[in-house]
A and B are shown apart, each in its own frame.
Chain A
Amino acid sequence: MSAEPIATFASSLEDLGVDLVRTAADEFASTVAPLLDAPAVGTPLPFESATLPDSVETDPTVAELEAAATGVTAAGYGIADYGSVVVQGGADGAEPVSLYADEHVAVVAASDVLPDMDAAFDRLAEDVRSGTRQSIVATGPSATADMGSLVEGAHGPMDVTVVLLEDR
Chain B
Amino acid sequence: MSADDRRRKAERIRHLLDTEGDAVHENTQVFNEGRYESTENLDDYDELKDEARAIKEDAIERLPDLVDRVTEAVEANGGTVYLADDAADANRYLAEVVDGRDVVKSKSMTTEELDVNESLEGSGADVWETDLAEFVLQVADEAPSHIVAPAIHKSREEIATLFNEVFEPEEPLETAEELTRFAREYLGEKIRDAEVGMTGANFVTAETGTLALVTSEGNARKCVQATDTHVAVAGVEKVVPSVEDLQPFVELIGRSGTGQDVTSYVSLFTPPVDSPTFGEDDLEPGDDREFHLVLVDNGRMAMREDDQLRETLYCIRCSACANSCANFQHVGGHAFGGETYSGGIATGWEAGVHGQDSAAEFNDLCTGCSRCVNQCPVNIDIPWINTVVRDRINRGKDGDLDFLVEGLTPDDEPGGVDPQKRLFGNFDTLAKLGSTFAPLSNWVARTDTARALMERTLGVDSRRELPEFERESLVEWFESRGPRVSREAARRQVALYPDAYTNYVRTERGKAAVRVLEALNVRVDVPAAGESGRAPLSQGMVATARSNAEAVYDALAPAVAADHDVVVVEPSDLAMFHREYERLLPEDSYAALKDRSYELMEYVYGLLENGAGVDALPDGDDERVAYHSHCQQRTLDLEPYTVAVLEDCGFDVTTSDVECCGMAGSFGYKSEYYELSVDVGETLAEQFTTEDTADRTVVASGTSCLEQLDALLTRRPAHPVRLLDRE
Chain A residues engaging chain B, CB cutoff 8 angstroms: 60-63, 65-66, 82, 84, 89-91, 93-96, 99, 117-118, 120-122, 124-125, 128-129, 132-151, 153-157
B439 to chain A, nearest CB (A): 55
A121, A124, A140, A154: the one within 8 Å of B217 (CB): A154
Contact B216 A137 (CB under 8 A): no
Q: Mark B220-237, 1 if CB is under 8 A from A, else 0.
A: 011001000000000000
Contact B242 A148 (CB under 8 A): no
Which of B246, B251, B263, B264 has its CB near the most chain A CB atoms (within 10 A)?
A: B264
CA distance A145 to B192 in the complex (A): 24
Contact B275 A146 (CB under 8 A): no
**Can you list 9 residue pairs at the A/B interface with Cβ under 8 Å?**
A91-B275, A99-B225, A121-B247, A125-B244, A132-B270, A136-B268, A147-B159, A147-B180, A148-B155
Which of the segments B181-189, B475-483, B499-507 contacts the partner chain? B181-189
CA distance A91 to B159 in the complex (A): 39
CA distance A137 to B242 in the complex (A): 17
Interface of A is mostly: mixed
A122, A146, A151: the one within 8 Å of B136 (CB): A146
CA distance A117 to B262 in the complex (A): 11
The 6 closest A-B pairs by CB, nearest first: A148-B156, A156-B218, A125-B243, A146-B133, A121-B247, A155-B219
CA distance A143 to B684 in the complex (A): 33
Question: 7 more A-B contacts (CB under 8 A) besides A94-B275, A144-B217?
Answer: A62-B283, A82-B262, A93-B283, A124-B246, A134-B275, A139-B264, A142-B218
Which of A63, A138, A155 has its CB near the most chain B CB atoms (within 10 A)?
A: A155
Q: Write out the residue numbers on chain A whose beta carbons fall within 8 Å of the beta carbon of B437.
A: none
Contact A147 B273 (CB under 8 A): no
Contact A137 B262 (CB under 8 A): yes
Q: Write out the residue numbers on chain A whose beta carbons fall within 8 Å of the beta carbon of B273.
A: 90, 95, 133-134
Contact B159 A137 (CB under 8 A): no
CA distance A96 to B269 in the complex (A): 14
Contact A91 B176 (CB under 8 A): no
Q: Write out the residue numbers on chain A whose beta carbons fall within 8 Å of the beta carbon of B706.
A: none
B179 interface residue (CB < 8 Å to A): yes
Q: Mark B120-134, 1 if CB is under 8 A from A, else 0.
A: 000000000011110
B236 to chain A, nearest CB (A): 21
B443 to chain A, nearest CB (A): 53
A117 to chain B, nearest CB (A): 5
Contact A136 B265 (CB under 8 A): yes
Q: Mark B241-285, 1 if CB is under 8 A from A, else 0.
A: 011101100110000001001111111111111111011111101
Contact B184 A121 (CB under 8 A): no
Q: Mark B127-146, 1 if CB is under 8 A from A, else 0.
A: 00011110010000000000
B130, B275, B280, B287: the one within 8 Å of A93 (CB): B275
CA distance A153 to B221 in the complex (A): 14
Which of A124, A147, A148 has its CB near the most chain B CB atoms (within 10 A)?
A: A147
Number of interface residues of B (CB under 8 A): 67
Q: Write out the residue numbers on chain B whose beta carbons fall within 8 Å of the beta carbon of A66.
A: 188
B238 to chain A, nearest CB (A): 17
B286 interface residue (CB < 8 Å to A): yes
CA distance A93 to B275 in the complex (A): 6
Contact A134 B270 (CB under 8 A): yes
CA distance A88 to B324 in the complex (A): 36
CA distance A60 to B284 in the complex (A): 11
Q: Write out the residue numbers on chain B whose beta carbons fall within 8 Å of the beta carbon of A147.
A: 132, 136, 156, 159, 176, 179-180, 183
Contact B261 A95 (CB under 8 A): no
Contact A148 B176 (CB under 8 A): yes
Q: Write out the residue numbers on chain A whose beta carbons fall within 8 Å of the beta carbon of B258.
A: 145
Q: A91-B286, A125-B244, A146-B149 are in contact. Are A154 and B218 (CB under 8 A)?
A: yes
Closest B residue, CB atoms, query A66: B188
Contact B264 A141 (CB under 8 A): yes
A82, A84, A128, A139: the one within 8 Å of B208 (CB): A128
CA distance A150 to B132 in the complex (A): 12
Contact A99 B222 (CB under 8 A): yes
Closest A residue, CB atoms, query B210: A128
Contact A133 B270 (CB under 8 A): yes
CA distance A91 to B263 in the complex (A): 25
A124, A129, A155, A156: the one within 8 Å of B268 (CB): A124
Q: A61-B283, A135-B268 are in contact. Are A155 and B222 (CB under 8 A)?
A: yes
Q: Write out the residue numbers on chain A whose beta carbons fall within 8 Å of the beta carbon of B251.
A: 117
Contact A133 B156 (CB under 8 A): no
B4 interface residue (CB < 8 Å to A): no
Q: A96-B283, A147-B156 are in contact. Are A138 and B242 (CB under 8 A)?
A: no
Contact A95 B247 (CB under 8 A): no
Contact A121 B275 (CB under 8 A): no
CA distance A62 to B280 in the complex (A): 8
Contact A133 B271 (CB under 8 A): yes
CA distance A154 to B269 in the complex (A): 20
